[in-house]
């Protein structure tokens, strides 16, 4: 019984670690350098309302999944704080921009983000 839980936790740990190594750097590299300065139009401005709401729903679900995985990764190997930060970028809620700015201007987080972007040949993010 306990062995089953250990196996499940180990598998989740490995999957979140591998997923964070792949997904988080891709999100960091593709983030616009002026994301925190300009007001951006959403990428899901589809004409048909059903498609627009489906994309919006999927984006928010992915954001919540990243936040949950980030919380888990605070206790297991992985990029927990970055996962939580990018989960927040994806979901929609009042006061989102202020929270994003507060998270991403943290010196540790912003330095990691800008190092990854520099390594990929992208501009640093302007805060």
User: Could you say which residues of the chain have pLDDT below 50?
Assistant: none
State the DSSP code for 75.
T
How far apart CA 93 and CA 8 sit, in angstroms, is: 32
Q: C-alpha 44: how far from its chain's center?
A: 17
pTM of the model: 0.58
Q: What is the number of other CB atoms lying within 10 angstroms of the CB of residue 74?
A: 11
Q: C-alpha 86: how far from its chain's center?
A: 2
- The pLDDT, as a whole number, for residue 98 is 83
* Domain spans of the chain, in order of start: 2-119
Nearest CA-CA partner of 92 in 67, 59, 53, 125: 59
How far apart CA 64 and CA 118 sit, in angstroms, is: 28
């Amino acid at each position: 019984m306990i062995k089953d839980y250990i196996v499940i936790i180990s598998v989740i740990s490995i999957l979140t670690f591998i997923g964070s190594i792949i997904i988080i750097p891709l999100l960091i590299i593709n983030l616009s350098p002026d994301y925190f300065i300009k007001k951006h139009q959403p990428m899901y401005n589809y004409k048909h309302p059903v498609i627009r709401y489906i994309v919006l729903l999927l984006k928010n679900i992915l954001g919540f999944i990243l936040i949950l995985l980030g919380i888990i990764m605070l206790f297991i190997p992985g990029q927990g704080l970055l996962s939580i930060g990018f989960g927040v970028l994806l979901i929609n809620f009042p006061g989102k921009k202020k929270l994003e700015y507060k998270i991403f201007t943290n010196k540790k987080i912003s330095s990691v983000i800008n190092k990854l972007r520099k390594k990929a040949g992208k501009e640093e993010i302007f805060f």
